Structure 1
Amino acid sequence: MNFFQQQDQVQRRTRWLLMLFALAVLVIVGSLGLIVWAIGGGVEAIAWTMGLTAGLIVLASLYRTWRLREGGGPLIALEMGGVRVGGHPVDPQQRQLRNVVEEMAIASGVPVPEIYVLEQDLGINAFAAGFAPNDAVIAVTRGALDSLERAELKGVVAHEFGHILNGDMRLNMRLIGILYGIEILALLGQGGLARRRRRHKGDGAETGTGVLSVTLIVVGYAGLALARWIRAGISRQREYLADAHAVQFTREPDGLAGALKKVAARYAGLNGNTEEITHMLFASDAIGQIFETHPPLLDRVRILQPQFDPEELKGLRERLNARVRKGARERAVDGMQREREGRLPGAEAVGDALGGHPALTHILGAGMLLAALPGPLAWAARSEARVIEVVMYLVLHADREVRERQLAMIGEALDGERQEAVRRLRAAEPVLREDLRLPLLELGFPALRRLDPDERTRLRTLVDRLIHADGRVAVFEYALGRLLDRQLRDVQDPAAASRPRRATLDDHQENAHYLLAVLAHHGHPDDPRAASAALTAGIGVLTGALPLAAEIPEALTGAAGARAWASVLDRVLEQLDALRMRDKDRLIRAMVATAGHGGQVVAAEVELLRVMAASLHVPLPLALDEFVATPPGGEGAG
């Protein structure tokens, strides 16, 4: 599946959605106008009724959408009764969930999302919420944790990552705002009718209120039925796509199929009113309804396992119910025991083993990296109290003199206690493997997102000072600073990542060439001929025609370029982020062709690829096999 095509499709679907929403509003407004005309209202009364109705719907939709933008994915999770999973959960099921989500995130190249558990919901379900990957959350029910094996849980989480990567999550959030605007009419009618019943009056004014309330209920719910029908048509096909993405990503159709069978054998329902978010859920219990947002469960299973026999479900329900009841009893006993002993969740969660499956290239790679992270560093990265110290640790210079200057800056900007904590991390792990540095930073993103605005600003300023402590910017320093800045900026405005982009590569050829030149130069810093060949290969994929030769610009190779390349690349990336999706596709392929030229990708190229892709708001998988560039003139040439 092509990420860029999916993003373009989602943008087109969003435009169609807005048009269909406008049509639904016109139907509602026109219906009320006809009713006013039928009861003898004049032109002025009809105009006022239609205008007020349209204004109410639009304002209610805008208000709900604004609230969702302000609260992002966490708002939905909290409204549904979710409890955030901390960095070091004592519950082994929550630890397993966190491990699976972290593996998926690092393997797919998206920021590690916040994780919530719906503790009061014993049905098997999950959802992803948010406007962009940087404010995404994944919520899973307690019933799913109790009922699913690891491979099945992995299939469910991969399905939700499919919604994130395919842009469905953003579309789903907009659907919530739209449906709220239409539903508000019916809610107002119900409120008016309830007030009339409480008063028990029969005068003309009360009778008029009753007629108006009934009218609003009838018209409101008729419009809501139309809107839900539109939503159902949009959502069903997206569920099939997310299932396919999960299989493509995990290479384990049996895991996802097993989870779907357990939903069919048990139930998917959640406590409370889930109508607003039903299109966001992993599964639904309803079957055969025209407003149903999900395909039938058994149809989804048969696509994954054509030989599936529904008779398999017999007996599975009782086994699942017994398993869930056992889990609930064990949690209750464990909770009482901890209360008696005064124990709190703590460091025993560190070093939890991370599993993998030999056939799963991306997930296995991410799992191996996470498992290789030193325990104290991984624990600190997941901790809100210690994550800043991990960032400081990662920026520390190898040269002792420079490092002491940096530590003095940390003590001055923060405090002596933090300075000593960074020293201890350095003493515990003097040299961290190069391929573990960015995964460690990404592990800390959920905790970093919870910093208050002033802390985020101070952190960005301090990191910039530490990076420039030796007067130059190394590739990893640039990658760390840029990723951190991108993440923290997107926290302040998560919807910025989802705004439509219209620029084309034709308008940014010079910027694109500079980007590829940076990759080629840092991939072959001591071999100008190899760097030129790599740049030539990348430009060939970018333009569709292989040039005779492409030279690394002197602005990169000279002494001035060694000092200024980072600031120039910052400007270039900001401008290239405005590219439309199909042009980003070409650019990413050209980047991978440049980095992979010669058959060996060095650490500097991997770090640059990750930060460049993140700056373009494009997730780059841990392995690059999905971005194999084709020769000029082929499909990859655009």
Structure 2
Amino acid sequence: MDFFQAQEDARRKSVWLVMLMGTSVLSLVLLAFVMMGTVLWYAQQGVHLAHSLSFYLTPELFLACLVTIGGIVLTGSLIKLVRLGKGSGTLMRAMGGRQLTGGPDDLRELVLRNLVEEISIASGAPVPQLYILDDEPAINAFAAGFSLDDAALGFTRGCIERLSRDELEGVVAHEFSHLVHGDSRLNLKLMGVLHGITMISSLGYQMLRSQRYRSSRSRNGASLSLVGVGLLVIGYSGVFFAGLIRSAVSRQREFLADASAVQYTRNTGGLADALKRIGGYPLSSTLNTPLAADAAHMMFSKAVSSWVGGLFATHPPLPQRITRLEPQWRGDFLEGVGEVQGIDAATSGLEAVAGVTGLVADKAQLVSRRVGRAGPAQRASARRLLDELPQQLQQLAHQTDGALVIICGLLLGREGAVREKQLRLLRNDWGSQRFGIFCDHVKLLDGLPRLQRLPVVNLALPALKQLPADQRSTAARTIQQLIAADGKISLFEWALQALVVQQLRPDLKANAPVKLVTQLRHLRQLFSWLALAGRLSLSQASEHCAVAYASLEVKDVGVIPAQRLNPAEVTRALLALEALRPRDKKRLLDACQGLVMADEKVLVEELELLRTIAEILGCPLPLLALIDPARGE
């Protein structure tokens, strides 16, 4: 599946969703208009010279219904979206999720985390936070997050305890696809709109309930009860139509996610067997949480038991999904518990090739075509990277203090004076316990091959995000001071601080889409950094940047000389470009590739730089080479 096409598709569906929901709300307004006119007409029936029903159906009443119903839906939706916008962990915790942190003792939890990290490293996406729904014995999972840098995956206890490693891998890949292709963002928007419509019926229920404690014999009391009944009817009518829209969108995205999961794993049987396991399990995939109905469209399989199917089903029937994966399937489901034999068992069938092949120096092979297309080769490379990573560092990366130790340790200079200055800074800023952990691991970090450095940073970022807000700003300042200690910044240091700035920023909500033509100042910063970092002279950089501007069909605004380039400004420019539309990001990545390959040579640092830019833009770029970490230097 083409990543950018999938992103554009999700974006178009968001627009259609707004239009369909708007039409649904307008229908509710018309229904409310007629109902309120009827209530007013009924209230006046005992009065002399009472008017006909049409007398009360005035433009003023229609406007009042529009403002009231629209206001309730809009307010309810915004309240829900604001809550969800506080971080993907908000929804996970509300559904009873426990974040998987530190070093889990349970083998199946460890296998789950390794699978998620392997797919993340292979695909070039940030490692999502992991949550276990311990009170859910059924087999299910879901993805949440408005963006890749604030993503989380949730798995039920039944999912990790009953599925084999291959089956669990299929489920992880399926949910990862939802994150990469923007489905999770669309699903959260659906949840917000549905909450707003539900508020109408909730208000009607409260009005009816209040009448129980008042005298309802008066005509006014009866009128208020009629209003309450009307709101209930309007609210449930809205839920009916919104449910139809939600289910139609969800069913289509599930088929696409199944197809993408097979692309990630190249193992059709794993995903198909996971679906068969659900079909053969008495508890199936039904959840106990009160939020199951609200989040039903986000789940791997149906979360709510209901006699209503067809148009209202949030997921295609299990047999239909299995048959698409295995056309020869005979209808038999799987019972019992799948086996997990250990972590190393997964490497069978995956071969890693020694050496660094890097980018092919052929500009016709556009890097944008690789985005979102991680396959067995990239999975083998990621597996090799993680296998070669010292176990102590892997454990450290999943601890809050340990994550900060790793990131700061990777910034430690080799030179005596600079190194002493950095160590003095850390000794003064940190407590003795954290500094002691740092000293215990500094030799391991010093000896870490270059190709493993950014992957271990990505492993550490989820834990680093767990720092309290005040400690986040302190950590960011410490990282900046370590980088500035020698008065210069390397490509790796820039890539690291750019990832940290993105992950630790307080506002994780996506900005409104922007056009390339309005971002010339930011393009100039980024292109200048890429061209001059590629060891080009100013005249050569100007020539290649002109080609890059032309490929984007924007004005050539030149190059900023190296001495005037501010790495912090480059980072801010890249974060601003994150709001570009998917098709513009595609063109921008190809332009960046042209600048990286301008000298027909691609170093490891430049590969890291390109992957970092793609990751921050929200365009996960798979490992571009099959690598041997031992030869990463």
TM-score by length of 2: 0.83
Look up the match of 1:605.
606
Deviation at 1:214, TM superposition (A): 2.6
Residue 131 of structure 2: SS of its match in structure 1? strand
| Residue 56 (structure 1) shift | 1.9
The match for 1:501 is 513
Distance 1:230 1:201, change over 3 A: same
Could you tell me how far apart the structure 2 residues matched to 1:85 and 1:415 are?
26
* Alpha-carbon distance between aligned partners in 1 of 2:236 and 2:275, rounded to the nearest angstrom: 32
Gaps of 5+ in 1: 328-350, 626-638
> Partners in 2 of 1:139 and 1:190 — Cα distance?
33
Instruction: Report matched runs for 1:86-101 at 5 Å.
Output: 86-101=101-116
Q: What is the Cα deviation at residue 383 of structure 1?
A: 0.4
Deviates more, 1:166-175 or 1:410-419: 410-419
Q: Distance in 1 between matches of 2:3 and 2:133?
A: 30
Give yes or no for the alignment of 1:22 onto 2:37. Answer: no
Alpha-carbon shift at residue 151 of structure 1 (Å): 1.3
Alignment of 1:480-499 (within 5 A): 480-489=496-505, 492-496=506-510, 499=511
Decide which moves more: 36-45 or 10-19.
36-45
The sequence identity of aligned pairs, in percent, is 34
Equivalent residue for 2:378, pick from 362, 377, 386: 362
- 2:287 is aligned to 270
Structure 1 residue 488 displacement after superposition: 0.8
Q: Which residue of 1 aligns with 2:370?
A: none
State the Cα distance separating 1:90 from its structure 2 match: 1.1
1:224 is aligned to 2:226: no
Residue pair 1:125, 1:268 contacting (<8 A) in 2 also = yes
Structure-to-structure mapping, 1:429-468, within 5 angstroms: 429-468=445-484
Cα separation, partners in 2 of 1:261 and 1:599, compared to 1, 3 Å: farther
CA deviations on 1:184-213 (whole Å, 9 max, x unpaired) are 122233344455568897665654454333
Residue correspondence of structure 1 range 129-278 to structure 2 within 5 A: 129-194=144-209, 207-266=222-281, 267-273=284-290, 274-278=292-296
1:280 has 2:294 as partner: no
Contact 1:196 1:206 in 2 (8 A): yes
Contact 1:117–1:140 (CA under 8 A) maintained in structure 2: yes
Whole-Å Cα distance in 2 between the matches of residues 459 and 502 of structure 1? Answer: 31
**8 Å Cα contact 1:380/1:386 also seen in 2:** yes
- The count of residues paired between Structure 1 and Structure 2 equals 575
User: Compared with structure 1, are the counterparts of its residues 75 and 553 closer, same or farther at alpha carbon in structure 2 (3 Å cutoff)?
Assistant: closer
Q: Contact 2:551–2:591 at 8 Å: present in 1 too?
A: no
Separation in structure 2 between the aligned mates of residue 68 and residue 5 of structure 1, nearest angstrom = 26
Between Structure 1 and Structure 2, which shows a larger proportion of helix residues? 1
Letter of the 1:304 counterpart: L
Q: Is the 8 A contact 1:539 1:590 kept in 2?
A: no
Secondary structure in 2 aligned to 1:61?
helix
Q: Which moved more, 1:197-206 or 1:439-448?
A: 197-206
Following the alignment from structure 1 to structure 2, what is the Cα–Cα distance between the partners of residues 272 and 463?
Answer: 41
Unaligned runs of 5+ in 2: 42-55, 352-375, 627-633
Structure 2: distance between partners of 1:93 and 1:196 = 54
SS at match of 1:140: strand
Q: Is the 8 A contact 1:88 1:379 kept in 2?
A: yes
- Write out aligned runs for 1:284-323 (5 A): 284=302, 288-310=309-331, 312-313=332-333, 316=334, 319-320=335-336, 323=337
Asked if 1 retains the 8 angstrom alpha-carbon contact of 2:524 and 2:560, the reply is no
1:13 is displaced (CA, Å) by: 1.6
Deviations 1:354-375 (A, max 9, x none): 8334171222222221221112
Superposed displacement of residue 419, structure 1: 3.0
1:511 & 1:191 partners in 2: Cα distance? 52
Q: Distance in 1 between matches of 2:176 and 2:210?
A: 45
| 1:57 positional shift | 2.1
> Structure 2 CA distance, aligned partners of 1:445 and 1:230?
36
Deviation at 1:102, TM superposition (A): 1.0
The one-letter code matched in structure 2 to 1:579 is L
Letter in 2 for 1:299: Q
Superposed counterparts of 1:231-630, under 5 Å? 231-266=246-281, 267-273=284-290, 274-284=292-302, 288-310=309-331, 312-313=332-333, 316=334, 319-320=335-336, 323=337, 353=344, 355-356=346-347, 357-358=349-350, 360-489=376-505, 492-496=506-510, 499-504=511-516, 512=523, 515=526, 518-519=529-530, 521-523=532-534, 525=535, 543=550, 555-556=561-562, 560=563, 564=565, 566-567=567-568, 569-570=570-571, 572-595=573-596, 601-623=602-624
Task: Please name the residue that 1:6 is paired with.
Answer: 6
Which of 1 and 2 has higher RCO (CA within 8 Å, sep 6+)? 2
Q: Which whole-Å CA distance do the structure 2 matches of 1:595 and 1:355 have between them?
A: 35
Distance 1:239 1:539 in 2: 43
Q: 1:345: which partner in 2?
A: none
Residue 407 of structure 1 contacts residue 419 of structure 1 at CA under 8 Å; is this kept in 2? no
In the alignment, is the contact (CA less than 8 A) between 1:387 and 1:444 conserved in 2? Answer: yes
